[in-house]
Amino acid sequence: TRDQMSALFKNEGAKRRPTTKIAGLVINRDLIRYREHYPSENINMPGRTSNLRFYKNQIRSIPDGDFIDEIHIKWYGDYRTLEVHHGYVQWLFPIHEEGMNYRAQILQVHERQAMIKDAAVIERVKKSYELILDFYGANVVDWQTGELERTQGYARRFINLNTRFHNYLRITRILKWLGEMNLEHLKFSFLVFFAQEAIFLSTIPKAAKSLEDFWLATLRDDTELELAVHFVDGSITFEKAMSLVRHPEKRGYKVKDIAAALHLTSGQPQHGPHRRGDPAATPTQQGHESSLLSTDEKGGAKGGSVKGSGDKGLGNVGVKRNANGSVSSDEKTVQQTSPEQEKALSSDDELDPDSQRLDAGARARVTARKEEGVVSRSSQTQGSQSSISGDAEEKGGGEVTGGEGEGGGADEL
């Protein structure tokens, strides 16, 4: 039977890939390597500098890419490109592992050290994170806590994420990349947000398995991992999880260390594109104790039910929690999207950037970035426009070993 074959596959996989268990979570070899900082691998070759030069806006990503400042402007909200382009992910989110874009280079230790010390590079890192979060239907509320909230157009983004499984492998890479960029504190907030959506609200139900099997284990600190597991299994309430999100010191972080990692200076805004109470904020950003609580069509708190404002696909989700904050399985009801709606909402036509589907908030962010006066490719020197040298010709060897995100550390891209 299918279940027997699945069990056999998992058992055989366990033999090939040693595992460890932390907080009751089985972690495979690929994630063990990551959590232990790749102890036995040579990932510090001085002649390889493509990732650093790309993040300094000196060279283009290849194939069919651009300078990073141009990507942050032109690709923001271009959901079709972000979905179907398979060459940008390893450039925007470099890690110490091979992938399948052989023209992207493995992140070197010396590159990482230089990148995290460079304030301009970290600003670009933040913009890369904002770009991909918007693609997945989320905004950063506060950089020092990493708290996320839904975008105004989250419904279609969630449907896309629920049907395009290669994005789950991308997310594994993105979470690893946050750690390499010294922004480990952002992961817990990401995981709470998407666990709430995937597991408790069932807005992205097909992402739940990848979250449990792979995304959680990208947390390198055992205590923080245990807290995340307890939220996912219902041992701690959503309110407690959000308190941990908003107070990273409760998870062992020092506020000054986070500020240093973000290169924040006194008086510099710590918030993402929209703050609560902003006139331009979306309905889910205003008047809520929690940015993850759902809203009715007018933006008012609506308990545990979701009515997407103008959304066609997610339906109404009714959730009742047990005393410990977990969702009662017999009380959880989901009005699923019809096959016709799902097909329409996730079609290539719906991903067409010319369809003017950018919500007002996204358009405002694009306009703001254009007004920042970022360096365009026309201002680059002839040297920076040269093709990438042989140090970028790192051949990818990542292999996809499972469906719906079950690739572990082997990225699809």
How many whole angstroms separate alpha carbon 26 and alpha carbon 139?
30
Going 210 to 214 to 220 to 223, the CA torsion angle's sign is positive
Kindly report the backbone phi and psi dihedral angles of residue 250, in degrees, each rounded to the nearest multiple of 5, phi listed first. -70, -15
Helix (H, G, I), strand (E, B) or coil at 110: helix
3-state helix, strand, coil in the chain (%, to 5): 45, 5, 50
Is residue 379 packed enough to be buried (19+ CB in 10 Å), middle (13-18) or exposed (0-12)?
Answer: exposed
Q: What are the pLDDT tens digits along the chain (413 aa)?
A: 445 444 434 444 443 456 788 878 999 999 999 999 999 889 999 999 999 999 999 999 999 999 999 999 999 999 999 999 989 999 999 999 988 899 999 999 999 999 999 999 999 999 999 999 999 999 999 999 999 999 999 999 999 999 999 999 999 999 999 999 999 999 999 999 999 999 999 999 999 999 999 999 999 999 999 999 999 999 999 999 999 999 999 999 999 999 999 999 765 556 665 433 333 333 333 333 333 433 333 333 333 333 333 333 333 233 333 434 444 433 333 334 455 544 544 444 333 333 333 445 555 555 555 455 433 333 333 333 333 233 333 333 333 333 334 443 333 44
Helix (H, G, I), strand (E, B) or coil at 22: strand
Task: Give the residue carrying structure tokens 């032109």.
Answer: 74
CB count within 10 Å of CB 286 equals: 16
Q: Are 306 and 334 in contact (CB under 8 A)?
A: no
How many whole angstroms separate alpha carbon 83 and alpha carbon 351?
8
Cα Rg of the chain, angstroms = 21
How many whole angstroms separate alpha carbon 38 and alpha carbon 145?
27
Torsion of CA 235, 239, 245, 249, to 10 degrees: -80
Helix (H, G, I), strand (E, B) or coil at 411: coil
pTM given for the model: 0.70
